[in-house]
């Protein structure tokens, strides 16, 4: 069986990314947070099934704080997480001022929302209403 193990992404502010993840993935824990003397900070945060490898821009990177335009140029378009209690997460993200991403249609067997974090990465958050694969992955 194949599953997503991790996504490695450079972010302009690791602490801001961790604050966003505290809302959308409360079961994720920091596995490692390293700042080498001669290097850049990186953090692995996740659970026993998957994790995100976050790293700060390299010192010699050109324009590290420029946002990528999703669906327009190369890079990550969005990151999908399966969550519990989507309505509660959606409300917290809205209350904290996070910007909504693309719209998702109303579906019978799952709920989805898209939000951008402070770095400009778009996240698809999905809560499945069914545990039957034929229903979970039905594209209505």
pLDDT reported for residue 4:
83
Residue 36 included in any domain: yes
Mean pLDDT of the chain: 87
Kindly state the tokens that stand for 29: 């824990």
Residue 129 included in any domain: yes
Q: Report how far residue 117's alpha carbon sits from residue 21's, in angstroms, rounded to the nearest whole number.
A: 9
Residue 62 included in any domain: no
The domain containing residue 18 runs over which residues? Answer: 6-57+76-136
On the question of pLDDT at 29 being above 90, the answer is: yes
Query: How many domains in the chain?
Result: 1
On the question of pLDDT at 1 being above 70, the answer is: no
On the question of pLDDT at 64 being above 90, the answer is: no
Using one digit for the tens of pLDDT, what is the confidence trace for 90-134? Answer: 999 999 999 999 999 899 999 999 999 998 899 999 999 999 988
Residue 10 included in any domain: yes
Residue 92 included in any domain: yes
Residue 66 included in any domain: no
Kindly state the tokens that stand for 81: 């997480």
Q: Read off the CATH number of the domain in which 85 is found.
A: 3.10.180.10
Band of residue 30 on the pLDDT scale cut at 50, 70, 90:
very high
Residue 45 included in any domain: yes
On the question of pLDDT at 11 being above 90, the answer is: no
Q: Report how far residue 128's alpha carbon sits from residue 110's, in angstroms, rounded to the nearest whole number.
A: 4
User: Contact 53/9 with Cβ under 8 angstroms?
Assistant: yes
Residue 28 included in any domain: yes
pLDDT reported for residue 60:
60
Region 14-31 average pLDDT: 96
**Rg, C-alpha atoms of the chain:** 16
Calculate the CA 6 to chain-centre distance. Answer: 11
Band of residue 137 on the pLDDT scale cut at 50, 70, 90:
confident
């Amino acid at each position: 069986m194949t599953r997503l193990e991790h996504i490695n992404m450079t972010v302009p502010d690791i602490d801001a990314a961790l604050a966003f993840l505290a809302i959308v993935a409360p079961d994720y824990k920091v596995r490692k947070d390293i700042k080498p003397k001669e290097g850049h900070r990186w953090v692995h945060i996740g659970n026993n099934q998957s994790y995100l490898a976050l790293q700060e821009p390299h010192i010699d990177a050109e324009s590290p704080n420029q946002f990528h335009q999703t669906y327009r140029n190369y890079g990550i378009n969005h990151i999908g997480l399966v969550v519990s209690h989507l309505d509660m997460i959606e409300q917290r993200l809205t209350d904290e001022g996070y910007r909504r991403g693309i719209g998702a249609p109303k579906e019978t067997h799952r709920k989805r929302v898209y939000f951008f974090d402070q770095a400009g990465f778009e996240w698809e958050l999905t809560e499945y209403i069914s545990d039957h694969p034929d229903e979970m992955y039905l594209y209505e």
